Structure 1
Amino acid sequence: MEMAPRHALIFIGGNSPESSVRDHLPEAALVIAADSGWEHATAMGFQPDLLIGDMDSIRPEHLVEAHASDAEIIEHPTDKDVTDTELALQLARKFDYRHIHLLSGGGDRFDHLLAMVHSLVSHADDATMSAHVGDNYVRIVTPREATELELPIGSTVSLIPLGGNAKGVTTTGLQWELKRDTLHSFASRGVSNIATSSEVRISLRTGALAVISTLNKGNR
């Protein structure tokens, strides 16, 4: 019998995730809070198994709460070379989780959000990486696997190449279909496509894509 995939959920800092996201999340085998992500996790009804980061943004009362819980706490110095989000991703990969989902409400640190998406790509060679950012769902697509989205017809779907050109991009279920096309980095061709089917499929031959859609019940 095929075993269900093991998922890791990572709650990061910034604004609180949308409460409606709760219904879209997989059953998590591992819950990691990155610094002030602890507050977001517990507010959504999750008890983190691990708290990691430099603890520069978690509120003192939440840090006390974490120490009183069964969670393992891994504290890093503030002067470090990677973000707390990257530390959490590295930890999930260390435990060999192959389905990793980030939760973020967004916020005013665009640099952190941009770095977060690139961190997802850096771990996508042998893992399925996705995120909810505000009311958007993000799925990283690499040549390793195609992605399938179940979307209401008319949903906006954007395909953003990351780290270079995405070649051999093929889609089904979109108004402007691609067939072994190239989406160039530093260009906007893949932005604001429209789902014409409730099932959208995207694959590519080389490169990486961030596939971004508005939040809906069918995203997976």
Structure 2
Amino acid sequence: MRTVFRVLGAVGLVLLAGAVAHVVSGYTTATISSDAMRPTYTRGECVFLERIEAGEARRGDVLLHRTDERYGGLAVLQRVIGVGGDRVAQRTGEPVTVNGKPLDEPYVKDGDPSGAAPAYDVVVPEGRLFLLGDHRANSNDSRYFLDDRSGTVAERAVLARPLDDRSGLVGAGLTALLGLVVVVGALATEIARRRRPPVR
């Protein structure tokens, strides 16, 4: 019986350590520090994100990225409008177009996809992303860096994207909790066994 509880304790430790390692390596959080992504995300809001690899970003994704030469090296949250090979263009007061087709953007603040930014017409280099904030009138995004590779950001600069489905995070949490319960149970059983008076 003693061996059984030791094995259970070891299994519990493995479950607990594995779940914690999965959460630490696979997820992160960010606190929104500006109004650039309103109304999707508001200042002060804490966002849960999943870490992703370069090349996983898709049009429409909101991404956390960090570029040393922009924003003082701070990580920022912006939306992918164009990927490598896309032609992204906009005239003041008109919708953004991607490869000649107007982009439907129900997420932009006040229904204004322009925000009075200067007109632009760029082709996104391969391996890079054209990113905009959802509050176009209050977002310092790709439109304002057009002289630097059409304002784009390297895919490798992407850190994470907000979680649409938290089931993986919840599952990891439940696994960690199960591991903790098993460890505590095995430990409590071992303590009780040692305190038990010897049978004569």
Structure possessing the higher relative contact order (Cα contacts under 8 Å, 6 or more residues apart): 2
TM-score (norm: length of structure 2): 0.25
Which structure: greater helix fraction?
2
TM-score (norm: length of structure 1): 0.23
Which structure: greater strand fraction?
1
